[in-house]
């Protein structure tokens, strides 16, 4: 009889232990899920992993800032150079193979800047190598253009004022044995003496002519709109 009582008293304990052994894998699995989602806070809610630890090493983007890779090719900069002079291509006209490109000079500095005569112009290819081009003052060797040969003398520019010069050439291929010249940049010295020289992007498709005409600096022409007829 003592043996039966001892067996009955041990039976609930064994069942309780078996139940705990069955629940233990479930508890371990739940703990594993919480660990995979993040660290557990004191409140028992899984926390989101810290963003700085999951971000790859390298440059960190800053809000509101766009990073642009640098380029080796020169461009017409909107920022005023230290010389106080900004050169840039302006209006371009093309008709029947004749090209006319306007170059604009802006006095973006704080002092008066004077240009006189013709600028010095050199045509460069896509690799910034000079092309063999015969550059002349005026357009007589290329075409007859009104006002192209006129030189007005020194042009005195106050801060904010502009001057323009024009380039003319023909896009003609007359020699099959000579490669066509394809200019992509212009190296320009405003007063022809090499000072304040800048390189600006401009398409100069000379064909095989190899000739470029340059006008003198002048103030931009002001066009007056026609009024209503009576």
The better pLDDT of the pair 138, 227 is held by 138
Residue 227, pLDDT score:
32
Same domain, 114 and 185: yes
Residue 133, pLDDT score:
94
Same domain, 99 and 174: yes
Residue 25, pLDDT score:
52
Same domain, 97 and 209: yes
Over residues 5-50, the pLDDT tens digits come to 544 545 445 455 555 555 555 554 444 444 444 444 433 333 333 3
- 109 belongs to a structural domain: yes
Task: Evaluate if residue 107 carries a pLDDT over 60.
Answer: yes
The better pLDDT of the pair 140, 42 is held by 140
Same domain, 91 and 144: yes
Pairwise CA distance, residues 180 & 207, whole Å? 4
The residue to which tokens 């190899």 are assigned: 210
Same domain, 120 and 208: yes
Pairwise CA distance, residues 101 & 169, whole Å? 9
Residue 78, pLDDT score:
64
Domain count, the chain: 2
The vertex-220 CA angle with 217 and 224, nearest 5°, equals 155
- 56 belongs to a structural domain: no
Pairwise CA distance, residues 30 & 219, whole Å? 82
Residue 145, pLDDT score:
85
Residue 225, pLDDT score:
37
Looking at residues 118-146, what average pLDDT do you find?
93
Same domain, 92 and 13: no
What confidence category does residue 65 fall into, taking pLDDT thresholds of 50, 70 and 90?
very low
CATH for 115: 2.60.40
Residue 172, pLDDT score:
87
- 121 belongs to a structural domain: yes
- 126 belongs to a structural domain: yes
Same domain, 32 and 114: no
The residue to which tokens 């050439």 are assigned: 169
What are residue 40's DSSP bridge partners? 46
- 97 belongs to a structural domain: yes
Residue 149, pLDDT score:
83
What confidence category does residue 143 fall into, taking pLDDT thresholds of 50, 70 and 90?
confident
What confidence category does residue 153 fall into, taking pLDDT thresholds of 50, 70 and 90?
confident
The residue to which tokens 């009889």 are assigned: 1
Residue 51, pLDDT score:
30
Same domain, 34 and 127: no
pTM of the model: 0.62
Lowest mean pLDDT among 6-10, 127-131, 168-172, 223-227: 223-227
- 52 belongs to a structural domain: no
DSSP state of 67: -
> Among candidates 108, 103, 111, 76, which has minimal Cα distance to 218?
103
Same domain, 196 and 110: yes
Domain that holds residue 11: 2-41
Indicate the SS3 state at residue 53.
helix
Same domain, 126 and 198: yes
Same domain, 21 and 116: no
Task: Evaluate if residue 83 carries a pLDDT over 80.
Answer: yes
Same domain, 98 and 29: no
Residue 76, pLDDT score:
46
């Amino acid at each position: 009889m003592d043996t039966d009582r001892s067996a009955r008293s041990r039976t609930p304990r064994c069942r309780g232990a078996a139940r705990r052994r069955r629940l233990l894998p479930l508890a371990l699995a739940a703990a594993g899920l919480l660990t995979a989602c993040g660290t557990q806070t004191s409140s028992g809610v899984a926390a989101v992993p810290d963003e700085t630890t999951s971000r790859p090493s390298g440059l960190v983007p800053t809000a509101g800032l766009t990073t642009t890779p640098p380029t080796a090719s020169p461009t017409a900069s909107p920022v005023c150079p230290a010389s106080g002079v900004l050169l840039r291509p302006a209006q371009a006209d093309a008709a029947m193979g004749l090209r006319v490109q306007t170059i604009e000079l802006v006095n973006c500095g704080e002092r008066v800047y004077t240009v006189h005569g013709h600028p010095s112009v050199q045509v460069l290819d896509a690799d910034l190598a000079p092309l063999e081009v015969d550059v002349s003052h005026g357009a007589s060797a290329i075409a007859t253009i009104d006002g192209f040969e006129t030189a007005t003398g020194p042009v005195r520019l106050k801060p904010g004022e502009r001057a323009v010069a024009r380039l003319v050439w023909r896009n003609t291929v007359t020699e099959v044995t000579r490669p066509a010249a394809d200019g992509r940049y212009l190296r320009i010295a405003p007063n022809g003496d090499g000072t304040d020289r800048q390189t600006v992007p401009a398409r100069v498709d000379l064909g095989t002519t190899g000739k470029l005409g340059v006008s003198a600096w002048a103030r931009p022409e002001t066009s007056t709109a026609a009024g209503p007829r009576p």
